[in-house]
Amino acid sequence: MANEVKVPTLGESVTEATIGEWLKKPGEAVALDEPIASLETDKVAVEVPATVAGVMGEYKAEVGDTVEVGAVIATIEEGSANAGPEDTKERKESKESPAPSPTPAPAASSSDDSKVDPSATLSPAVRRAVLEHGIDPSTVKGTGKDGRLTKEDVLEAAKNKKSGGDASQGQQASGGEAPAAGPGRKVERVKMTRLRQTIAKRLKSAQDTAALLTTFNDVDMSAVIEARSQYKDLFAKKHDIRLGFMSFFAKAACLALKDVPSVNAQIEGDEILYHDFVDLSVAVSAPNGLVVPVVRNIEEMSFSEIELAIANYGKKAKDGTLTMDDMKGGTFTISNGGVFGSLMSTPIINPPQSAVLGLHRIEERPVAVNGEVVIKPMMYIALSYDHRIIDGREAVTALKIIKDAIEDPMRILIDL
């Protein structure tokens, strides 16, 4: 008996997804609740669990297909894994019409069981590595399950390519006709992931809809660096988490948003919604794009609670286990481009929010202090905001409050 596997409910307002990867092949044993497929939604990757135990049947959709909530994407047959894909198909043929459609399984070629169709089996992390390093996945032997490529396989191939071990160069050299272009000039067409498409649409929509403006300031990080240096070991021992810069900036932002509530507000129709809480969206890097999970009621949290929450989201983003609830809402965003070496940027707001704080790298620079030039660890900070709801005076004031709190962390403690 064939049991249908349907696209599960994906979250509020999410009605469709894209097949990102099949985790089980037809004929393989499947345990109850074992993931059989990965779906890419507008915000996160979602695994589809097996509804029953048995043998993986046929795929009803291919990698890259868009499927709606409730749509049947595969079947699971009753039986054991000893019955291969042919047996599964024969059982299905005996129950249905004599001419069923072929199974669109992304299986290996019958002439070479060690290779699989790369376009059908690349995970988001592997696809990103392939693009970054310019590797042709069809030339790399996968070491993952069922011969799938892993990120490590791609990185090793990139290393060999740099050292002159690219097999494709040797093939070109032995050919009878000279190549039209020089070595390394490749163009590869890869479909954008649903998440990347959504990021592109949302950022463009923010530019088209909001009246965006950015104000800048610079911050002397000496006090925070000194505080971290003095208390980092005790903090880590007591709370089992590293004391980072983000908790300081989160707390400083709460002071600013309390004093300048429009920066924590949003437009809804012809009304302005003011929030007496701060649900902080923290931009973190995931294998298939930037995501912004939300730390809720951050104004009530301690430094250790903030650091633990952010670290947990970072791990979930890396593992691809963020949920829709993790991403929902948010009243203000902090994006730290400094971890990638950015000196200055103009971040784009995360609609329907009205402002975003951009952090950048810490760099020792000469500054004037009491008429003397001294070297200080400085950071440029930027506040991008929607000028429809936030006046320039309010934006500058909010950023100045953040600057003052970072340069004198005692302000955070005494709520000044």
Q: Does residue 113 sit within a domain?
A: no
The per-residue pLDDT for 47 is: 81
List, for residues 361-397, the tens digit of each pLDDT value.
Answer: 999 999 999 999 999 999 999 999 999 999 999 999 9
The verdict on 74 and 131 lying in the same domain is no
Number of domains, the chain? 3
Range of the domain at 274: 199-413
Dump pLDDT digits (tens) for 48-92: 888 888 888 888 888 878 888 888 888 888 766 554 444 444 444
Same domain flag for 235 and 167: no
Specify the pTM: 0.63
Residue 393 within any structural domain of the chain: yes
Whether residue 127 is found in the same domain as residue 37 = no
**The pair of three-digit structure tokens given for residue 111, joined into one six-digit string:** 């002439």
Question: Are 232 and 245 in contact, with CB atoms under 8 Å apart?
Answer: no
- Mean pLDDT, range 402-416, rounded to an integer: 92
Q: For residue 99, name the pLDDT band (cuts at 50, 70, 90).
A: very low
Distance between CA atoms of residues 9 and 22, nearest Å: 18
Q: Are residues 299 and 216 in the same domain?
A: yes
Residues 246 and 288 in one domain: yes
- Long-range contact list for 235-240, CB < 8 A, 24+ apart? 235/303, 235/304, 238/304, 239/304, 239/307, 239/308
Mark whether 353 and 220 lie in a shared domain: yes
Percentage above 70 pLDDT, the chain: 80
pLDDT of residue 101: 41
The pLDDT value recorded for residue 416 is 75
CATH code for position 135: 4.10.320.10
Beta strands 332-336 and 280-282 are parallel
Q: How confident is the model at residue 251, as a pLDDT?
A: 96
Question: What are φ and ψ of residue 90, in 5° steps?
Answer: -65, -40
Check whether 102 has a pLDDT greater than 60: no
Q: Which residue has the higher pLDDT, 335 or 180?
A: 335
Same-domain status, 35 and 82: yes
On whether both 167 and 316 belong to a single domain, the answer is: no
Average pLDDT, integer, range 144-155: 74
Give the span between the Cα atoms of 352 and 83, in whole angstroms.
Answer: 52
The residues annotated as belonging to the active site are 387, 391
**Domain match, 167 and 203 both:** no
Q: Are residues 80 and 224 in the same domain?
A: no
In a domain, 34, yes or no: yes
Stronger pLDDT, 282 or 116, i.e. the higher one? 282
Segment 214-236 mean pLDDT: 95
Q: What is the pLDDT of residue 405?
A: 96
Q: State which H helix or E strand residue 88 sits in.
A: helix 85-95
**Is the bond preceding 352 in cis, omega lying within 30 degrees of 0?**
yes
CATH number for the domain spanning 290: value is: 3.30.559.10
Same structural domain, 274 and 232: yes
| pLDDT, position 27 | 87
Inter-residue contact 287 to 125 (CB < 8 Å): yes
